[in-house]
């Protein structure tokens, strides 16, 4: 089956049919990210076709209930319904960590039902997984998730091995081959080495990735995720190294939306009329001062509610949020969850701040990094 010819017959045209090469040059990456949403949609179908064909349809979509995976689930459903004969099943996998917004928990079921109605010719399966540890256990053993995954990993690594590359990055000592400073230096966060609490990037791996990997092994299926390169330097680097479909390595992984941006996702949801979790509020256009209806093409789109809907208590990226941040909003919209997140906490016998039965103790952590709550 030639997906691209099929899409042309259906009238789904594109100005740029360039394939996503592996590895990508900086110029090629910029070109792909600059394409309009319609072209990106078609390229995503192409990457999905490569992936599903390679594994004989034994694939699943990692569905968090967030806006990015909402778009990916729709694209996968349309691909399987329109371009496979006979159509394959769409397997959505939701990892129920217990940290999702209640609205997300409800939406996961609602969206699976919506996809079944929208694409009646495919079978939509929703699989729910649970981690072995809860959030209090993870934070107590490994530490708090703050700043970003890269920084948290370097803090943890540098504390464990003072002579490590992570320590050099935190001190701004790593140089490029031309003698200039590496873009991966992060001396801004060196002060966190003295924080009176543990810092780690392990939470996501334990709460989400580990259950997913176990499921992949049991069911013999390969993952498809909605991660996008613009979200971090590390994701950009990985995309440029492997392309959207990473067939090699211990865990083959498809990221067919790597070249999408948040603006692409929001605009696609609006233009296609896709349902999305109510915790995001409305999707509106803004000229920087005022909000308008989402039909203004030249304006930037944003959500009036939560800007991100990962784990409710995650501190990654909170320091970057302008205006009302996630913790301040949680206080207003989900007061019980807020109290558990911010409240509690005590110093252990080693002088480290840890969660208690009353809560995770994020107040002291956020005070330390200057994030309002």
Instruction: Check if the beta carbon of residue 257 is closer than 8 Å to that of residue 76.
Output: no
Q: For the chain, what is the domain count?
A: 3
Do residue 255 and residue 362 come from a single domain? no
The predicted pLDDT at position 87 comes to 83
CATH number at residue 33: 3.40.50.620
SS in 3 state form for the chain?
Answer: CCHHHHHHHCCCCCCCCCCCCCCCCHHHHHHHHCCCHHHHHHHHHHHHHHHHHHCCCCEEEECCCCHHHHHHHHHHHHHHHHHCCCCCCEEEEEECCCCCCHHHHHHHHHHHHHHHHHCCCCCEEEEEECCCCCHHHHHHHCCECEECHHHHHHHHHHHHCCCCHHHHHHCCCCECCCCCECCCCCHHHHHHHHCCCCECCHHHHHHHHHHHHHHHHHHCCEEECCCCHHHCHHHHHHHHHHCCEECCCCCCEECCCCCCCHHHHHHHHHHHCCCCCHHHCCEEEECCCCEECCCCCCCEEEECCCCCCCCCCCEECHHHCCCCCHHHHHHHHCHHHHHHHHCECEECCCCCEECECCEECHHHHHHHHCCCC
Q: Which of 61-70, 136-145, 308-317 is predicted least confidently? A: 308-317
Domain hosting 174: range is 149-194
Has residue 190 got a pLDDT over 80?
yes
The mean pLDDT value for 266-271 works out to: 96
Query: pLDDT (tens digit, 9 = 90+) per residue, 85-117?
Result: 888 899 999 999 999 999 999 999 999 999 999
Q: Which of 41-50, 70-79, 216-225, 227-236 is predicted least confidently? A: 227-236
Within-domain flag for 324: yes
Four-point Cα dihedral 57, 60, 65, 67, nearest 10 = -60
Please choose, from the candidates 37, 105, 112, 35, the residue with its C-alpha nearest in 3D space to the C-alpha of residue 70.
112
Confidence of residue 289 (pLDDT cuts 50, 70, 90): low
| φ, ψ at 146 (rounded to 5°) | -135, 160
Do residue 208 and residue 179 come from a single domain? no
CA distance 348 to 345: 9
Rounded to the nearest integer, the mean pLDDT of the chain is 91
The predicted pLDDT at position 277 comes to 97
Has residue 45 got a pLDDT over 50?
yes
The predicted pLDDT at position 249 comes to 83
The Cα diameter of the chain in Å comes to 69
Do residue 164 and residue 266 come from a single domain? no
Residue predicted with more confidence, 23 or 326: 326
CB atoms < 10 A from the CB of 248, how many? 9
| φ, ψ at 92 (rounded to 5°) | -100, 130
Do residue 112 and residue 227 come from a single domain? yes
Q: State percent of the chain over pLDDT 70.
A: 91
Do residue 97 and residue 11 come from a single domain? yes
Q: Global pTM?
A: 0.84
The predicted pLDDT at position 24 comes to 85
Within-domain flag for 297: no
Using alpha carbons only, how large is the chain's radius of gyration in Å?
Answer: 21
Do residue 175 and residue 244 come from a single domain? no
Within-domain flag for 290: no
Do residue 168 and residue 213 come from a single domain? no
The mean pLDDT value for 359-369 works out to: 98
The predicted pLDDT at position 233 comes to 80
Confidence of residue 297 (pLDDT cuts 50, 70, 90): low
Q: Which of 14-23, 32-41, 312-321 is predicted least confidently? A: 14-23
Do residue 241 and residue 358 come from a single domain? no
The token duo for 33 is 């990210």
Do residue 156 and residue 244 come from a single domain? no
The predicted pLDDT at position 234 comes to 81
Q: State percent of the chain over pLDDT 90.
A: 81
Please choose, from the candidates 234, 232, 227, 166, the residue with its C-alpha nearest in 3D space to the C-alpha of residue 199.
166
Domain boundary among 217, 247, 275: 275
Within-domain flag for 171: yes
The predicted pLDDT at position 290 comes to 57
The predicted pLDDT at position 21 comes to 41
Instruction: Check if the beta carbon of residue 231 is closer than 8 Å to that of residue 263.
Output: no
């Amino acid at each position: 089956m030639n997906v691209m010819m099929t899409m042309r017959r259906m009238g789904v045209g594109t100005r740029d049919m360039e394939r996503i090469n592996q590895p990508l040059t900086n110029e090629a990456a910029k070109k792909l990210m600059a394409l309009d949403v319609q072209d990106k949609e078609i390229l995503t179908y192409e990457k999905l076709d490569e992936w599903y064909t390679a594994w004989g349809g034994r694939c699943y979509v990692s569905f968090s209930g967030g806006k990015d995976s909402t778009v990916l689930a729709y694209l996968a459903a349309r691909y399987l319904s329109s371009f496979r004969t006979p159509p394959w099943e769409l397997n959505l996998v939701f990892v129920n960590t217990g940290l999702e917004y209640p609205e997300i928990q409800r939406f996961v079921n609602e969206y699976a039902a919506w996809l079944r109605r929208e694409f009646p010719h495919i079978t939509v399966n929703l699989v729910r997984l649970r981690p072995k540890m809860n959030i209090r256990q993870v934070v107590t053993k490994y530490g708090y998730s703050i700043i970003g995954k890269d920084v948290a990993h370097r803090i943890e690594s540098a504390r464990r091995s003072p002579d490590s590359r992570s320590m050099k990055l935190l001190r701004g000592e790593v140089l490029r081959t031309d003698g200039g400073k590496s873009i991966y230096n992060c001396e801004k966060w060196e002060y966190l080495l003295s924080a009176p609490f543990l810092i780690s990037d392990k939470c996501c791996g334990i709460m989400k990735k580990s259950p997913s990997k176990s499921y992949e092994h049991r069911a013999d299926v390969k993952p498809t995720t909605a991660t996008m390169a613009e979200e971090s330097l590390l994701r950009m680097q990985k995309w440029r190294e492997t392309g959207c479909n990473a067939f090699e390595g211990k865990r083959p992984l498809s990221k067919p939306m790597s070249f999408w941006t948040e603006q692409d996702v929001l605009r696609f949801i609006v233009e296609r009329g896709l349902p999305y979790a109510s915790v995001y509020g409305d999707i509106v256009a803004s000229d920087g001062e005022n909000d308008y209806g989402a039909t203004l093409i030249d304006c930037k789109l944003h959500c009036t509610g939560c800007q991100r809907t990962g784990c409710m208590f995650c501190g990654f990226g909170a320091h970057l949020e302008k205006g009302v941040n996630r913790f301040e909003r949680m206080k207003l919209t989900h007061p019980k969850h807020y109290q558990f997140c911010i409240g509690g906490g005590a110093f252990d016998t080693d002088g480290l701040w840890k969660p208690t039965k009353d809560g995770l103790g994020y107040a002291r952590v956020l005070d330390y990094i200057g994030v309002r709550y």
